[in-house]
Amino acid sequence: MKLNRYVARIFGRLKILDNHLFTMKREVHGRSWNLPILDRAGLDYAHDNSEKWIYEILRRIQQIKPIHTFLDVGVNNGQTLIKIKSLSSEVNYIGFEPNVNCVYYSSLLTELNQLTNVQISAIGLGDKNDWATFKAYAPTDARGTLVSDKISSQDAGLERKVPVFKLDDIGIDLNPDKLNILKIDVEGFELNVVQGAKDVIKKFEPVVLFEVLPYTNEVEKSTAQELYDTIVGLGYDVFQINTKTSDIAPVKTVVTKEITGEYDFIGIPNSQKSVYSSLQNS
């Protein structure tokens, strides 16, 4: 059954979408998309909650140098997949997502829109090859995390053991002469991902997009600082992204306690800093 965005929003409020699959046709970033709504997954696409700044900064980067491969750590329900494929269908998209519900939804999104050059693996990335506990407030919730104490078992609507691997150990082969982007949005597990990806980062020098939320305790504070120090130690300059303008500004830390809504950063290899200078605030 096909829905328009307004009917989808009403159905969502009335919980009519539960246990059903619908599709909604909508133009997103200049491209027509068939958007699945499975239970409540995909309902956000009926609203305008799409983090448009991500598309805008990717568009600006694409104008500077064409994106060859996009590594998406934390696929969720394909929010960034839609953005990168709206920008260019030729980009090689490789996604990692430990929540099998989100993997199923994103695979359905890929199939319904006949996307090519898309590979999504149902695994988490971290600093060791092991099993870890994944928790989320709901089966397809964007706030799902591998951080053990981020969500209590009592509050978790989904909790299961998932396989986690180091990016360095799974055989990623990128073209170092092309532009590669590594996006990490894993609700507090960013440091673990980077620590398990040091060899890949050193060898291929991808542009790194990552999020750091305000800290609520000293462990989160020190983890955020260590993430910054690790990325800088790999030969990167770190910039904060203005989500209103998509401009970037250099920062000396990513640690913050303030709730500002500006928690997104970009790491640019020292060797390529001049290439992306036009992204900086004028």
> Which has more pLDDT, 161 or 139?
161
Residue 9 pLDDT level (bands cut at 50, 70, 90):
low
Q: What's the whole-number mean pLDDT along residues 77-83?
A: 94
Q: Of 77, 97, 260, 250, give the one whose Cα is nearest residue 184.
A: 97
For domain 51-279, give its CATH number from 2.60.40.10, 3.40.50.720, 3.40.50.10490, 3.40.50.150: 3.40.50.150
Q: What's the whole-number mean pLDDT along residues 99-115?
A: 95
- pLDDT above 70 as % of the chain: 89
Look at 4-8, 60-64, 217-221 and tell me which has the smallest mean pLDDT. Answer: 4-8
pLDDT for the residue numbered 7:
46
Residue 264 pLDDT level (bands cut at 50, 70, 90):
very high
Structure tokens given for 256: 């913050």
pLDDT for the residue numbered 5:
55
- pTM (2 d.p.): 0.89
pLDDT at 14 over 50: no
Highest mean pLDDT among 13-27, 34-48, 217-231: 217-231
Q: Of 110, 123, 125, 124, give the one whose Cα is nearest residue 195.
A: 125
Q: What's the whole-number mean pLDDT along residues 11-20?
A: 52
Q: What's the whole-number mean pLDDT along residues 121-143?
A: 92
Separation CA 67–CA 86 (nearest Å): 13
> Is 64:278 a contact under the CB 8 Å cutoff?
yes
Structure tokens given for 178: 């092309």
Residues of the chain with CATH 3.40.50.150: 51-279
Residue type present at position 172: I
pLDDT for the residue numbered 73:
98
Residue 22 pLDDT level (bands cut at 50, 70, 90):
confident
pLDDT for the residue numbered 13:
55
The whole-angstrom distance between residue 117's C-alpha and the CA centroid of its chain comes to 18
Q: What's the whole-number mean pLDDT along residues 205-221?
A: 93
Residue 262 pLDDT level (bands cut at 50, 70, 90):
confident
Farthest CA pair distance, the chain: 53
Q: What's the whole-number mean pLDDT along residues 111-135?
A: 97
pLDDT at 46 over 90: no
What mean pLDDT value characterizes the chain? 89
Q: What's the whole-number mean pLDDT along residues 12-33?
A: 73
pLDDT for the residue numbered 39:
72
